[in-house]
Amino acid sequence: MRPQKHPQEEDRLATLTAYGVLDSARDPEFDEIVDLAAAICETPVAIVNLIDSDRGWFKAETGMSVPEVPRDHAFCSHAILEDGVVEIPDTRQDARTADNPLTIDGSPVRFYAGAPLVAPNGLPLGSLCVLDTRPRRLTDLQLRTLRALAQLGMQQMELRLRLEREKVLRQEVDHRVKNSLQSVVALTRIQGRRAESEETRAALAQVRGRIEVITALHEQLYRTDAGDRIDLSEFAGNVARFLSGFRPENVSISLDVPRMFVTSSQASAIGVIVNECAANAFRHGFPDGRAGQVTITARPEGDGMVLVCEDDGIGLSDNGTKSATGGLGMQVISASADQLGGPHRVENGDPGVRIIVPFTPVP
């Protein structure tokens, strides 16, 4: 008997398509479901069968050598028209399946039982079914287990759909945040060019630097699926590349941060510290075109790690470097170091200034 279409066929197919599971790769979770169904029901074949417009496509199967069958041949095409588990003890004795090629050709299927895969909107997408080459019946325990496994399969599909939707939403948020940050950076750059006061231009450059640090952190967070684990080596490299864009020609930047992971909060604080240390060195450490270098490293100390930002400039003295020790930049560094667990240390080296900030990476 040719199976009828579902009364809500268009809506049913739209729901199935929305899950994005058709023609997808095999998943261990679904493979485990069919293996368990076959073992518990003691059948040679078990299938997660999704009924498309013209085919029954197998998301997972054991005991079958094909990935799909024509929809008219799929016993599950009948099963989605009924509520609950459909059991056909002898396919040759049931009008729905007696003339089906799977019943009469080759190694005939003589037994079928299918538990529906029902979406939250109540529409059936297919079945978890078991097949046998001899007429038989399932026990009550086997029927209950088949139904439970079908529900588990539907939950797996629902989970994948929600994760995909969250991914799309996250990408949209990423796009909007990135555009907003870029707009703010462009605005501060324009205002800096128009500013008449050197002090105003320097302040706007500092603000732009802090926004660029946030932009680099945002890119690192959303470019990967690492959650709240940030590769500090890669993130610090992004910040250093940004700093290279506005460093004086007479000053170079050196970076030596091994691969380790920190939280997004730690990464944000470290990025701000690196930015402020470099900006202070650029402004105060190398007067009159003096050549030098800003070095950023991370190394073990005690039970944790320390971030070391240092330069080989003129160091702390009374000749105009007061802002380097008590200005806004150092206040920002101090506040950021507190976020990492602090306290930090400031050393007046010979030459230059060294700022040491302890932190503890995440596993």
Among the listed ranges 101-115, 180-194, 295-309, which one has the minimum average pLDDT value? 180-194
Give the span between the Cα atoms of 188 and 215, in whole angstroms.
14
**Which segments of 74-200 are extended strands (E)?**
86-88, 111-118, 124-132
Determine the average pLDDT of the residues in 91-101. Answer: 94
Determine the average pLDDT of the residues in 101-105. Answer: 90
Compare 205 and 69 and report the one with higher pLDDT. Answer: 69
At residue 317 the predicted structure's pLDDT band, cuts being 50, 70 and 90, is low
**Which segments of the chain are extended strands (E)?**
45-51, 55-62, 68-70, 86-88, 111-118, 124-132, 230-231, 251-256, 261-262, 292-301, 304-311, 345-348, 353-359
At residue 170 the predicted structure's pLDDT band, cuts being 50, 70 and 90, is low
Report pLDDT for 235.
85
At residue 297 the predicted structure's pLDDT band, cuts being 50, 70 and 90, is very high
Among the listed ranges 92-96, 119-123, 161-165, which one has the minimum average pLDDT value? 161-165
User: pTM (2 decimals)?
Assistant: 0.57
At residue 261 the predicted structure's pLDDT band, cuts being 50, 70 and 90, is very high
Q: Which residue has the tokens 């100390």?
A: 301
Among the listed ranges 32-41, 93-102, 315-324, which one has the minimum average pLDDT value? 315-324
Write the pLDDT tens digit of every residue in 24-59: 998 999 999 999 999 999 999 999 999 999 999 999
At residue 222 the predicted structure's pLDDT band, cuts being 50, 70 and 90, is low
Write the pLDDT tens digit of every residue in 153-164: 999 999 988 888
* 187: number of Cβ within 10 Å: 13
At residue 97 the predicted structure's pLDDT band, cuts being 50, 70 and 90, is very high
At residue 171 the predicted structure's pLDDT band, cuts being 50, 70 and 90, is low
The number of helix segments (H) and strand segments (E) in the chain equals 10, 13
Determine the average pLDDT of the residues in 228-240. Answer: 84
* 327: exposed, middle or buried (Cβ count in 10 Å: 0-12, 13-18, 19+): middle
Determine the average pLDDT of the residues in 84-92. Answer: 96
Compare 61 and 347 and report the one with higher pLDDT. Answer: 61
